[in-house]
A and B are shown apart, each in its own frame.
Chain A
Amino acid sequence: METLLVVAPFAVPALGALGYAAAGWRRATAGLAAVAAVLSLLAAALLAREVVVRGPLEAGPLLRADAVSAFMLIAIAAVAVLVALATPAHLATELAAGRIEPRTATRHVVLVQAFLAAMALAVLAADLGVLWVAVEGTTIVTAFLVGQRRTRAAVEAAWKYVVICSAGIALALLGIVVLNHASAHSGTGAGLDWAALAVAAPQLDPGVTRIAVVLLVVGFGAKAGLAPLHAWLPDAHSQAPAPVSALMSGVLLSVAFYAVLRVKVVSDAVLGPGFARALLLAAALASLVIAASLLIAQRDYKRMLAYSSIEHMGLLALGAAVGGPLATAAVLLHVLGHGLAKSVLFLGAGRVLQLTGTSRIADVRGLAAGQPVLAGSIGLGVLALIGLPPFSLFASELGIARAGFGSGTGWAVAAALLLVVVIGAALVNHTSRMVLGPRREGPGAAPAPQPLPRATAVALVAGLAACVALGLTTGPLTGLLAAAAEILTGAP
């Protein structure tokens, strides 16, 4: 029973992939993804409840579910539900417009399910090696999703994505090999199991561990979109089809950051908290500066959302650098909140692209007049992203700031808040020009008011509502967040 519970969040999307591969994409099978996503969410919720009560559950030597894994599984499943609701309409419109063929649509849904399964495997891995294999697996699976449209820009984006991410992840592999070396010579038989490594920390050689930690943070940070290896992110997230961008920005970056959090636990135990803090602060501030400087004059709204993802990953790194239970719980809450808000925005942006045929900000005007629900979702989504109450990102950013000012990293947090304000202004500026104002004739105007498909509208509204609910109270997730923060800060 325990094994089944641990394996379910991985098995359900895997079975979904097989199902789609066998049956193909048609009207009858369109709902399969949504069903699989809801089942994963239920499995994740059950697993969370068990883990809070009984502690970490294991399934064989390679899979382990603790509070952090369970929380990440909930985040993955929540975003998967939103995306699964919106995908049928998206694919139907693309098919009708002749931009893709039915074979491409089938491949799309099979790869998305495999993508979800790989992410679930990554957060359920007990062994850093299995975690690495799963994260590299996500790169491989999404390579063809990013390049799906076969245009010059899409092929370029797919190439840069695979090359830069694989290069970064190769550095992470070197870090794993070095850490394995330290572990093998510590005489504790810890192998690469991160929980055992945390326990065996006093026996690990500090010099070797330091090299390993730098490589791991840079390598997994590349996959998470942290500077300096972030160059693939704007291209890949802007060229991928909207549901895929939502998943990649919403959860894939967070799963890569989850790997960094696990490494930080080991690093803090062996080298003291200062080392990882310095690394993560540098990455966080660099990412925020890059995001701010490239958002101000941004001309493409999908790239704008991608740079916003870099900003939020920088905020996650800042929170992790600050450390302590409050900041860590805020980081996890931010993961969930950002996932929901960003996926709503990307789904909306995808719909806008399909309606107007252009991804330039300057060519989209007066959305609110023709598409009230869509424009409202986008507007509220951007407000959520910049951290306004009552959305949950306000609570998580406030938590990080409070913890930061209390723990001696106040200067970094102050600089980060300043950059966040600049970014917020830029985002609001661009979005208001797209959403508000009278409807405009000519290129970029929606040809005729096409109603928003019901499933997509449900996805957009539900995502925003969940974000608001989280902002008001963490409710049933409180215990889970507390347990997860405890594990990540190494408190016994």
Chain B
Amino acid sequence: MSALGLVGGLLQAVLVVGGAPLLLGMMRQVRARLEGRAGPGIAQPWRDLRKQLRKETITPRGTSEMFRVAPVLMVAMTLVVAVVVPFVGTASALPAVADLIVVVALLAHGSVAIALAGLDTGTAFGGMGASREVTILALVEPTALVAIFALSVRVGSTSLPEIVGSTLDDPARVVSPASLLAAVALAMVIIAETGRLPVDNPSTHLELTMVHEAMVLEYAGPRLALVELGTAMRLTVYLGLLANLFVPWGVATEPGVPALLVGAVAFAVKVGALGAALACAEVFLAKLRLFRVPELLAGSFLLAVLAVTAAYVLG
């Protein structure tokens, strides 16, 4: 628990909580511009959150504690990850928790909490969304773990600060088959876990196509604000993870105001760039039919296995 880790962790938490809705807003703006619309502006998600916080809290009849607690759980787990993962500095506030497997598990817990809440509502949409989400999750978790394994082979450990540090020391290793394959596999994992196209459409409310939206259909008011904030934070954290695992330049290596500032700016720029790229890609992609999703995920699993093979054989 070093100074760099503590200060960096606090800075990251503020950045992620404050910047996540802005990231979402930017992605929607990029998409709107590409589609020829004017768009609502980058700060719209914050305006939506403010509106929802002022509304009355409604709890559907027949729901239990799970429904009430799930949004808080999701935001809490994502916040822990945001504090602990080395986004701004190479040291972590809690090095024992900054392990790739632990991070993936924490983020998965968030998804599972929302899925349980969807089941808890007892409605058809909630159950349907939950079952679809868990199917996708079950297929995606092995890929995430195997891709992480590929990354950890050459470093010898799954500790995130070590992986980021070793990539900083030897940047040329990113251009190797193992890294590239793992990057592609992880990108597909992120798309599946955060519910973006082509796996799930984040702005649809059609019964045929909803996955994430179906689970949170019964939320309203402050709880909905928490859910939306949590979703945006998850996207930010995942994109930041992808950026720092493969392109860690700009990360602060020693504590000091200029280094931390550079780290924060670099983090924002990288996540922003990845988000914009994702938004551009979404303009051209159509949502996959649900029974085609296992194909995509099996392909990403295969790529992850190939990444591990490459790491063992060539690395």
Asked whether the complex places CB atoms of A and B closer than 8 A, the reply is no
